[in-house]
Amino acid sequence: MAINNNKESVILNNGVEMPILGFGVYQIPAEETKQAVLAALKAGYRHIDTAQAYFNEAEVGEAIAESGIPREEIFLTTKVWIDHYGYEKTKASIAESLKKLKTDYVDLFLLHQPFSDYYGAYRALEDAYKEGKVRAIGVSNFYPDRLSDIAAFTEIKPQVNQVETHPLNQQIEAQENMIKNDVQIESWATFAEGRGDIFNNPVLIDIAKKYGKSTAQVMVRWQVQRGIVCLTKSVKPERMAENINVWDFELSTDDMARIQSLDTKESLFFSHQDPATVDFFISLVKDRRNR
C-alpha cells in the first residue's frame, strides 16, 4: 500500500484507493445513525465504517441513499460478525449486509474478530471479491501472528487490518508487520474512547496549543502522518468538522517523537490472547443472537 500524493487517501495492495479519514458508527444507536451519517457526509467525509454487530447497517444505507452523493464517491466498510463465520453463513451474511446497506457492492468487507472459523469466512469474502460484490477485503483485530498466517495461506491477501490504535497503544510493531505483508493498517478507537484521560494528556495539550488545534486534531494528524487510515466518531456536527480539518498543519519530527513516548504498548480495552476475552466474545455472540 502507499499514501497517495494528495495525502488524503491510501492505495491498497490491489490498487483500490481508500480515504485516509473515515467516520465510524460504532455505538451510535440505530435511531441516531441516519442523521449522524448524513451530517458526516455533509461535513466532507467520504468514508463510512459500520458492521453487522453495530445493528445500524440499514440506517447507514438509508443515509447514503438519501444523501444525493453518487455511490461511487463513498467508500463503505462493513464487517462480518463472529456468529456468521464459516463459508456458507458468511456468504449469506454478505448478501444480508448488501440488502440492508441498499447497495450492490461494499468497498471493504472485514472479518470483525480473530475467533471461530475465520478461514471459512475469509474464503467467502474471497469469492465475494471475485464476484464484484466487494472491492477490498481484510480483517480486524488480527495480531501479527494471525495476520501473517492468513496472509500466507489465503488466495487473496488481506488489503486492510483494522486494530486499536491511539497514542497510548501505537501498534508500532504491528504496523511494521503489516508493511512487511503489504497490508494497510486502519485504526479504531482513534481517541481511545477517552480512556486514560487522553484528551487531557499534558503532552498532547502542549502540542495542540503549539499548532492552535485541539488534542483530537493532533491525534488524527499523528495517525495520518504515520500512514494510518483513521476512523473518528461523533454525533455532533461541529466535532465531525473539527476531526476532519487536519490538512492545514503538520506535526514536526520532534512532536511525533514526543507522542511516540506516550506508547504503553498495551490495550486499553482487552487482549484477544486472554482466555477471558474469548469468553467475553462468546457471551456477546450468545447475547446478540437474540437481537
Contact 139, 174 (CB under 8 A): no
Contact 212, 183 (CB under 8 A): no
The residues annotated with a catalytic role in the active site are 54
Q: What is the pLDDT of residues 122-153, one digit of tens each?
A: 999 999 999 999 999 999 999 999 999 999 99
pLDDT of residue 2: 44
pLDDT band at 7 (very low <50, low <70, confident <90, very high): confident
Q: Domain ranges in the chain?
A: 2-288
Residue with cell 491477501: 157
CB neighbours of residue 255 within 10 Å: 20
Pairing of β 108-111 and β 184-188: unpaired
Indicate whether 281 pLDDT > 90. no
The CA R_g of the chain, rounded to the nearest whole Å, is: 18
Indicate whether 6 pLDDT > 80. no
Pairing of β 75-80 and β 229-232: unpaired
Homologous superfamily (CATH) of 2-288 is NADP-dependent oxidoreductase domain (3.20.20.100)
Phi, psi of 202 (to 5 degrees): -60, -40
112 is in an annotated binding site: yes
Q: What is the pLDDT of residues 67-113, one digit of tens each?
A: 999 999 999 999 999 999 999 999 999 999 999 999 999 999 999 99
At what angle are helices 144-152 and 172-180 packed, to 10 degrees?
Answer: 10
pLDDT of residue 4: 41
What's the burial of 40, exposed, middle or buried (CB within 10 Å: 0-12/13-18/19+)?
buried
Contact 48, 22 (CB under 8 A): yes
CA distances for 273 relative to 2, 278, 280, angstroms: 30, 8, 12
DSSP β-bridge partners for residue 137: 109
Span 212-222, mean pLDDT?
Answer: 98
Q: What is the pLDDT of residues 22-57, one digit of tens each?
A: 999 999 999 999 999 999 999 999 999 999 999 999
CB neighbours of residue 272 within 10 Å: 17
CA terminus-to-terminus distance, the chain: 38
Q: How many CA atoms lie within 13 A of 249 on its CB side?
A: 22
Higher per-residue pLDDT: 5 or 249? 249
pLDDT band at 285 (very low <50, low <70, confident <90, very high): confident
Q: What is the pLDDT of residues 158-195, one digit of tens each?
A: 999 999 999 999 999 999 999 999 999 999 999 999 99
Nearest to 87 by CA among 131, 141, 125, 113: 125
